[in-house]
Amino acid sequence: MSVFKRCSVVMLALAALQGTAQAAPFTDVLDVPAMPSALASSSALRDVTLAGPRLVAVGPRGHILYSDDHGAHWQQAQVPVSADLNAVSFATPALGWAVGHDGVVLHSRDGGVHWHKQLDGRALAEQLPAAATDNALLDVWFSDARNGYAVGVFNLLLRTTDGGEHWQPWLDHSDNPQGLHLTSLAAVGDDLYITGEQAEVERRTLQPRRHALCRHPVRRRRQTRCAAGLRPARPRLPQHRWWPAVAAGQHGHQHQPHRRGHRP
């Protein structure tokens, strides 16, 4: 075969591959369940919490894992999306919520073994037309089985009073005119604190008939991190008011601030 013919064959093959790639349909991570992976336990997990005695951790590509032996062994949960997950919270040993990118809110009724989707960016965009469908939720917290909050980028603040069946945008309840990212939630006594960019801290009382939002600027930043991951045999328990940074996973990833990781 001549050089010209060989080049022609190669060019035709490349054109065919390019056409196939262009014709491949877009698949939304909101419609693709998390794939089972033997490497999930060594990925860069972003949050961990307790569901009764069980540990539940969340991370990239929709990975949720749980352990019933203090982290010695982990099992991957069934998750209906493959979006990156950022935070997880359990109000009871059975009832939990996880949030992440693409406006995802997931709910579990069996201690983190199975999850279903309560909200995503597409539904959120119908309530907030100005919001992008990929708005990331960065933290979630529930006071009980019905009442909870979620926070995220660009002053994204959501509230539910029915266990997450319906989420109400609460952007106008935040003293955040610049639209800074809200990064974490922490309950202290009867107050719920929200932290954000540029050392922003906001406080909301959780007592009935008291709903005034108070702003508490922080003069200097403190970077705190919590134990989150699968390598430590026993992460520190929630009653600790501050957790130092730890390395976890096979690659020594350090995990980001957690709602239980802030000093007063």
Report whether pLDDT(240) > 80: no
Output the pLDDT for position 227: 31
Which residue from 158, 200, 168 is spatially nearest to 181, judged by alpha carbons?
Answer: 200
Residue 229 CB partners (closer than 8 Å, separation 6+) = 45, 48, 57, 235, 246, 247, 248, 249, 253, 255
Report whether pLDDT(15) > 70: no
Query: Are the C-beta atoms of 74 and 232 separated by less than 8 Å?
Result: no
Report whether pLDDT(241) > 60: no
Output the pLDDT for position 175: 80
Q: What is the pLDDT of residues 186-226, one digit of tens each?
A: 998 888 899 888 866 777 666 543 333 444 444 434 333 33
Query: Quick one: which H or E segment has residue 18?
Result: helix 3-23
Please, what are the domains in the chain? 31-254 (2.130.10.10)
Kindly list the strands in the beta sheet with 182-188, ordered across the sheet, starting from the edge strand earlier in the chain: 182-188, 191-196, 200-205, 213-215
Output the pLDDT for position 79: 98
Q: Please indicate whether residue 145 or residue 243 has the higher confidence score (pLDDT).
A: 145
Q: What is the pLDDT of residues 48-84, one digit of tens each?
A: 999 999 999 999 999 999 999 999 999 999 999 999 9
Report whether pLDDT(118) > 90: yes
Cα 50 from Cα 66, distance rounded (Å): 9
How high is the mean pLDDT of the chain? 77
**Residue 113 identity:** V
Cα 263 from Cα 25, distance rounded (Å): 48
Q: What is the pLDDT of residues 21-49, one digit of tens each?
A: 454 578 899 999 999 999 998 889 999 99
- pLDDT, mean of residues 229-249: 36
Output the pLDDT for position 159: 96
Output the pLDDT for position 198: 80
Cα 159 from Cα 197, distance rounded (Å): 20
Give whole-number Cα distances, 163 to 96, 132, 159, in Å. Answer: 10, 24, 10
